[in-house]
Amino acid sequence: MKRRDFIWRTFGMILGLAGLRALVGCSDSDDGLVGQAIGGPGASVNCLANGTRTTIESNHGHSLLVSVDDIKAGTEKSYSIQGSSGHNHLVTLSEDNFTSLRENGTIEVNSTTSAGHDHSIIVSCA
């Protein structure tokens, strides 16, 4: 193999791997599972038994953990969702939000604005 061919093949492989990483490694959501539905697909969801899952729109390192204990307590609570992001947002869940989760509902809330943007967050039962 000539040096020129080797360089072009190596360059092509590097570009291909970078493209694959971009396709596989990036996502607009944070599917932070805090427990999964027992029984696999088709199993019924239950926040008090299985915990919650969260999806953060346009996510870039933020995370939200809503514990079973918080759902049981049912009192308004603010959460930091900084995660691995370089900035922080706060999210407040109301008593009504916790009631919906206790009843195995899904809620949608918005974070505070930071660094010129906010995030829509969906919390559902696992």
In a domain, 88, yes or no: yes
**What is the model's pLDDT at position 43?**
60
111 burial type by CB count under 10 A (0-12 exposed, 13-18 middle, 19+ buried)? buried
In a domain, 14, yes or no: no
In a domain, 84, yes or no: yes
In a domain, 19, yes or no: no
Distance of alpha carbon 38 from alpha carbon 32, whole angstroms: 16
Structural domain including 68 reads 28-125
In a domain, 58, yes or no: yes
Number of domains in the chain: 1
pLDDT tens digits, one per residue of 79-114: 999 999 999 999 999 999 999 999 999 999 999 999
- Residue with structure tokens 């308004």? 76
pLDDT tens digits, one per residue of 4-39: 666 777 666 666 555 544 444 434 444 444 433 344
**Contact (Cβ atoms closer than 8 angstroms) between residue 51 and residue 34:** yes
Distance of alpha carbon 24 from alpha carbon 75, whole angstroms: 38
In a domain, 75, yes or no: yes
Q: Is the whole model's pTM more than 0.85, yes or no? A: no
In a domain, 2, yes or no: no
